[in-house]
Amino acid sequence: MTPDELKGLIRTVPDFPQPGIQFRDITTLISHPLGLAATVRLLAERAKALGAEAIAGMEARGFIFGAAVAVELELGFVPVRKPGKLPVDVLGIDYALEYGTDRLEIDPSAIAHGQTVVIVDDLIATGGTALAAAQLLRQAGATVDDALFVIDLPDLGGAARLRDASIEVSALMEFEGD
């Protein structure tokens, strides 16, 4: 399937989670066997071309695509977790959300110093979570120069924020507007 065909599998839910927001729901994509397989394959091709040595994904939807891409490429997967989920000493970072703050954590032993790690996630909106994940992975010693997404919402500026942090961004599809 092509990226345009995959875009047709994304459900738009108006006014969620609040009025005026057009929520891009991947449930309809991941429940479509050929769509899910094609999405993983396309992301994996891009990650391989970037020289990925490991794939990182943020909880929770980044786990879906990131782990599948890692399996496709026979690479390790680095889970970027919500706080309190890892049973070892962690590296953590707090970051700003639209309405407050959040925290991400990783097991630093999951990354070899200098290892090329490509971030994979379902969607980039404002870029706060992806930027925090990249900073955390870099703090652990990874080389993070690229992030791959299924969906980019360019009007929200997240891809530009990552590019400002020297992270190239690639997405399979874009949706204009919120």
Residues with active-site annotation: 61, 98
CA 76, CA 111: separation in Å to the nearest integer? 9
Would you tell me how many other CB atoms lie within 10 Å of the CB of residue 168? Answer: 13
Kindly report whether the peptide bond that precedes residue 132 is cis, defined as omega within 30 degrees of 0: no
Show the beta-strand stretches assigned E in the chain.
11-14, 22-25, 54-58, 76-80, 91-97, 100-106, 116-124, 143-152, 168-174
